[in-house]
Structure 1
Amino acid sequence: MMKYLYTLFLIFLCQGLFIKLYAQEKKYAHEIELKIKAVENNLGLQVRIEGEPNHTLKGRMNFYHVNGVSIAMIKDYKIEWARSYGWADSVEQRRVTMGTLFQAGSISKSLNGVGVLKMVQDKRLNLYTDVNDYLTTWKFPYDSLAKSKKITLANLLSHTAGLSVHGFPGYEKGDTIPMLVQILNGERPANTAAVRSAFEPGLKYQYSGGGTTISQLIVQDITKKPYDEFMWENVLKPMGMKNSFYTQPPPGDKQKLLASGYYNDGKAVKGKYHIYPEQAAAGLWTNPTDLAYYIIETQLALQGKSNKVLSQEMTKLRLTPYVHNSAALGVFIIKRGEQTYFQHTGADEGFVSQYYGSMEGGNGVVVMVNSDNGAITEEIINSVATVYGWKGFYNPLQRPKIITVPQNILENYVGEYKRKADDKFYIKISLVNGRFFYSEPGWDGFELYAGAENDFFSREFPVGITFIKDAVGKVIELEYHRGSRNEKFKKTK
């Protein structure tokens, strides 16, 4: 293994592929540098194609039009290395450094969970009390859909409150920013619907950034402090996240540290980033190093070896799924291979991020990018898992070589496919400049590649599509494959 890593290191030193790609603030021990090179040069796609060479970080950044990437790697309860690549702002020619701040999107909810549980630990809140007992500037308007059941903080943090409003698009610079009560009521200038019951609380899981926003208002109503101030004093600062903040819009003295957001095609977000008054749900600005401090503190607290914010008992509670089998209090608990992890993803306009922290052993990783395309984050994490021997974490689908299907045959597959004729959801298959694509309403989807004349797959997602013909050779339906899921969609157009 070391001989392989050393060979990779020499090859890429000679080629100089990354000399212009990253600004390296710190040089690590030789063995760690070899591991970093291995991570950079063996990205783990969801689908491995027979005979295809390894994918590099530089190549995948170009493929996805990703301007900047920042990574922090955790081993044995310590940050083993952190490295940054590309541009924080391509127009300003400002490189990503380890100090560059990214919008964390829904990872904000993980730290919010820590803040709320700190108040529970301090006996200022109860997880299982009706939220209206704490709200003073606004009350949740229960209706018949709640079936006389009350919403609790445990419901809000675990997305089991039965509430609407999945997420928030944020506001452009220059927009009038609504107050929290206006957001919760769906009143202008809010750009989202009112946060209301969709079904009774405690029944099942339904992701709701709207519910998290209610928890933000509870923190403000009880502490009588701005949310960002409370989170800095009680969560971020004690954990050592000295560069992070929830302040919206960002403070003027932080502007040169902020990455600018970009869309899938590489175009910049207007105004560089959006503003999120929904701070608890989507408002955290941070970097992978600071998030690594949060992960490590969580891991140490879970072992009873630290209590900078939460006790061991409260940390265990935070990492215990509630109602749903993976949704805990601000985090998701999943088993990958031989290890269980707490994790969360995040997506704001022009930003995507993801982290994993092991429940045992003190291992983890954080990846943040200033792009709307999040596929690269999982590919980097898969590479980390491979290089560091996280057994069973990365299990790609194996596919044969890509073949070329004649265009006249591809044209027969083009169209819309539905489960039922009156179904609003449909799969669209299109052919653009000789390239074959899958898409859905509201999602651009992905390119399809052929393993056989009627059998196609994605290189970024573990998805397969098989086209089915009738007795006379007419295409009548497609079969969608993902894991154990197999669904048939009839061709309607």
Structure 2
Amino acid sequence: MKTCKILITCAFLFCVKINAAAQSPSDISEKIRRVEQNLLPNIQTGNEGPMTIQDRMAFYKVHGVSIAVIHNYKLEWAKGYGYADDSLKLAVTPQTLFQAASISKSINSVGVLKLVQDKKIDLYTDINTYLTTWKFPYDSLSKNKKITVANLLSHTGGLTVHGFGGYEKGEPLPTIPEILDGKKPANSDAVRSMYAPGIKSEYSGGGITISQQIVMDVTHQPYDKFMYDNVLKPLGMTSSTYAQPPVNNKPWLLATAYRDNGKALKGKYHIYPEQAAAGLWTNPTDLSKYIIETQLALKGTSKKVLDQQTTRLRLTPYIDKNAALGVFIDSLQDGVKYFEHGGANEGFRCQYYGRMEGGNGVVVMVNSDNGNIMSEIVNSVANVYDFKGLNRSKVRKEVAVADTTLQKYTGKYELAPGFILTVTREGNSLFGQATGQGKIQLYAESNNKFFLKVVDAEVEFVKDDKGQITKAVLYQNGIHDAKKIE
């Protein structure tokens, strides 16, 4: 208990400066201050004042944040903010472990490709060649095409089950075959074909879980042991673990998971036997070691786990232009490319970016279902460090619209069967709420077109020749018409 009291004294002051030799401590401290004091929303209107990390944590009801910044192939600084456990007032430090959620898939791909590099498996061979404990049940939907390991890692296997919800402490945990077959006590559907493999990339945590079974069947080892001995330890990620539940970790190092209303999950966090897809416990400092090693291996100057050839293969999009083997490739302006992955477990959100050239990157982890602050932090880091392409913040001009006009836009709009956008007015502001989601304010950029601040999206209201509003058009990852039904 004495240790806990020491940890809580300065909840917003835990900082590790790693790369002080290259720059003076005062230079790094000034950059940290600028990052902290000027968070940038994805959409700016010009009316915002300075946005500090503490203010935005309070706004989003986020208890804890952990950040690491990579500069010139080195971890320049890592810092924790707020509380890993608010009820105990345990502060987030750079050592605090968060659930990495789907970022687990990136590190998993390093382990799988280590087996490929060691010629223990082939990327392009039928997965059932390596599966012995369980076999994938091909059916007519796969069109007689075989799923490969490359398909699993790149989400091109045409497989079901997007993600997993985890299990409360004390609940019976299923085996991997039970998860893959959707049998109790598994709480997810069976992993099966939706369509033939190799057509397109469609995210499947189920496919990654098959790769976990392959690792275990080929190595005859528990998954977490193989990954620690062959990936985490060689990368220097010795604070991290795939063990579920985590063992041999000091309880005060494990962040408690929180809902977006700030309330803790029952039992503090969920347990994920789907280790490859969602089970890694880690922190931004350890993830930075993975990013830096990936960058150095790509240059050909290091090969702690994967050599240059295998690293290039891992970072090469497979079938489409974005989904590579365990990572996604963002190709931005002027040829700038980042490998990246995000994550979302119950009560945790996280995101990393590593530039393919130049050795820069950033990692952000939070113990909340609300991850909106992460993009604001990334934007600020990119702005301070001039990380090309990572500052996604846009400026939009807000205009005034008469209350009588706003009132005409209120009502219900059907985006899809059973998926309704409800538009309401509060004073001189409009709000939109989609089925199963929270209420979001809409900001006017013209008399009939509105934008959102939390995501890059717009809503346009369309009227007929009689002046009646007939539909709303949502511009977000394409164009989506929503007929007014009420």
Which TM bucket (shorter chain)? over 0.9
Instruction: Select 1:317's aligned residue among 313, 323, 334.
Output: 313
Number of the residue aligned with 2:31: 35
Moved more, 410-419 or 32-41: 410-419
Number of the residue aligned with 1:489: 482
Shift of 1:444: 2.6
SS of aligned partner of 2:208: helix
User: Conserved in 1, the CA contact under 8 Å of 2:11 and 2:92?
Assistant: no
Letter in 2 for 1:23: L
Letter in 1 for 2:14: Q
CA gap of 1:430–1:76, structure 2 versus 1, over 3 A, is: same
User: Conserved in 2, the CA contact under 8 Å of 1:154 and 1:329?
Assistant: yes
User: Conserved in 2, the CA contact under 8 Å of 1:73 and 1:80?
Assistant: yes
Letter in 2 for 1:273: Y
Is 1:117 the equivalent of 2:113?
yes
Q: Deviations over 1:94-122 (max 9, x none)?
A: 00001100000000000000000001111
Shift of 1:379: 1.1
Is 1:129 the equivalent of 2:130?
no
SS of aligned partner of 1:466: strand
Q: How does 1:92-171 map to 2 (within 5 A)?
A: 92-171=88-167
Instruction: Select 2:458's aligned residue among 448, 460, 464.
Output: 464
CA gap of 1:168–1:433, structure 2 versus 1, over 3 A, is: farther
Number of the residue aligned with 2:6: none
- What count of residue pairs does the alignment treat as equivalent? 471
User: Conserved in 2, the CA contact under 8 Å of 1:458 and 1:464?
Assistant: yes
Percent of matched pairs sharing the same residue: 54
Letter in 2 for 1:466: E
Shift of 1:46: 1.2
Shift of 1:442: 3.5
Shift of 1:418: 2.5
TM-score when scaled to structure 1? 0.91
Number of the residue aligned with 1:11: none
Shift of 1:461: 1.1
Number of the residue aligned with 1:474: 468
Instruction: Select 2:396's aligned residue among 396, 399, 411.
Output: 399
Instruction: Select 1:210's aligned residue among 186, 189, 206.
Output: 206
Number of the residue aligned with 1:446: 440
User: Conserved in 2, the CA contact under 8 Å of 1:49 and 1:402?
Assistant: no
Q: How does 1:74-89 map to 2 (within 5 A)?
A: 74-89=70-85
User: Conserved in 1, the CA contact under 8 Å of 2:415 and 2:421?
Assistant: no
User: Conserved in 2, the CA contact under 8 Å of 1:469 and 1:476?
Assistant: yes
Letter in 2 for 1:287: N
Number of the residue aligned with 1:65: 61
| In 1: Cα distance, 2:29 partner to 2:214 partner | 46
User: Conserved in 1, the CA contact under 8 Å of 2:15 and 2:77?
Assistant: no
Q: How does 1:293-332 map to 2 (within 5 A)?
A: 293-332=289-328
Shift of 1:463: 1.1
SS of aligned partner of 1:22: coil
Moved more, 458-467 or 326-335: 458-467
User: Conserved in 2, the CA contact under 8 Å of 1:83 and 1:98?
Assistant: yes
Is 1:387 the equivalent of 2:381?
no
| In 1: Cα distance, 2:264 partner to 2:429 partner | 25
Number of the residue aligned with 1:366: 363
Moved more, 440-449 or 349-358: 440-449
SS of aligned partner of 1:426: strand
Letter in 2 for 1:24: F
| In 2: Cα distance, 1:251 partner to 1:404 partner | 57
User: Conserved in 2, the CA contact under 8 Å of 1:299 and 1:362?
Assistant: yes
CA gap of 1:417–1:347, structure 2 versus 1, over 3 A, is: same
User: Conserved in 2, the CA contact under 8 Å of 1:439 and 1:445?
Assistant: yes
User: Conserved in 2, the CA contact under 8 Å of 1:246 and 1:284?
Assistant: yes
User: Conserved in 1, the CA contact under 8 Å of 2:69 and 2:78?
Assistant: yes
Number of the residue aligned with 1:24: 14
| In 2: Cα distance, 1:470 partner to 1:433 partner | 26
CA gap of 1:316–1:372, structure 2 versus 1, over 3 A, is: same
| In 1: Cα distance, 2:390 partner to 2:212 partner | 34
Shift of 1:477: 1.3
TM-score when scaled to structure 2? 0.93
User: Conserved in 2, the CA contact under 8 Å of 1:118 and 1:309?
Assistant: yes
Q: Deviations over 1:300-355 (max 9, x none)?
A: 11111111101111111111111121111100011233310100001100000000
Number of the residue aligned with 2:423: 429
User: Conserved in 1, the CA contact under 8 Å of 2:111 and 2:230?
Assistant: yes
User: Conserved in 2, the CA contact under 8 Å of 1:184 and 1:210?
Assistant: yes
**Structure 1 unpaired stretches of 5+:** 1-18
Letter in 2 for 1:266: G
| In 2: Cα distance, 1:434 partner to 1:179 partner | 54
User: Conserved in 1, the CA contact under 8 Å of 2:379 and 2:393?
Assistant: no
Number of the residue aligned with 2:374: 377
Instruction: Select 1:344's aligned residue among 335, 341, 351.
Output: 341
User: Conserved in 1, the CA contact under 8 Å of 2:14 and 2:92?
Assistant: no
Number of the residue aligned with 2:235: 239
SS of aligned partner of 1:106: helix
Is 1:357 the equivalent of 2:379?
no
**Structure 2 unpaired stretches of 5+:** 1-8
Number of the residue aligned with 2:412: 416
User: Conserved in 2, the CA contact under 8 Å of 1:173 and 1:275?
Assistant: yes
User: Conserved in 1, the CA contact under 8 Å of 2:126 and 2:147?
Assistant: yes
| In 1: Cα distance, 2:386 partner to 2:360 partner | 11
Is 1:53 the equivalent of 2:49?
yes
Moved more, 378-387 or 205-214: 378-387
Letter in 2 for 1:361: G
User: Conserved in 2, the CA contact under 8 Å of 1:182 and 1:188?
Assistant: yes
**Alignment RMSD (CA, Å):** 1.9
CA gap of 1:329–1:91, structure 2 versus 1, over 3 A, is: same
| In 1: Cα distance, 2:263 partner to 2:425 partner | 24
CA gap of 1:488–1:127, structure 2 versus 1, over 3 A, is: same
Shift of 1:466: 2.0
| In 2: Cα distance, 1:402 partner to 1:166 partner | 40
CA gap of 1:416–1:186, structure 2 versus 1, over 3 A, is: same
Shift of 1:409: 4.8
| In 1: Cα distance, 2:380 partner to 2:333 partner | 15
SS of aligned partner of 1:362: coil
